[in-house]
Amino acid sequence: MSEPREKTTVLSNAFGVGDACMYRPLPADANSSAITDLEFVAAIGKVLQDHHWATIWDLQNILGVRHSLIRAKARRTYRRGLTVGCICGCRGEFRLTPAGRDFLGQGGVGERPK
């Protein structure tokens, strides 16, 4: 049997971020810092191209990480004002705030929202 190879998913979205999300294997003890804020926000932006909101399962499929990491990153980006949605652990229904769209459009650089 051959070795599993690392998969790379290139996101082309309306915000102009090319390869913001990389599907890669993470160690079992990885924490939410294993996913960058830009990767997370870009994954939500990708889902929003076709849907009204992004669920936890949509983000799991794109980012390739477990549910608990998605929830932790959702709490972080919610507190930073980049996303809105339910962070309790239900399906989420995440959307980008205007600050989140700006953050994504700048490639994750620039002034952080308060």
What pLDDT is stored for residue 54 in this prediction? 92
Sign of CA dihedral 88, 94, 95, 97: positive
| pLDDT tens profile 29-73 | 666 677 888 989 999 999 988 888 899 889 888 888 888 889 999
With tokens 């919610």, the residue in question is: 78
Burial class (CB in 10 A: 0-12, 13-18, 19+), 113: middle
Is 74 in contact with 65 (CB distance < 8 Å)?
no
Q: How far is CA 101 from CA 1, 24, 98, in A?
A: 43, 24, 5
| Residues facing 95 on adjacent strands | 84
What pLDDT is stored for residue 12 in this prediction? 39
Burial class (CB in 10 A: 0-12, 13-18, 19+), 102: middle
pLDDT higher than 80, residue 25: no
What pLDDT is stored for residue 49 in this prediction? 85
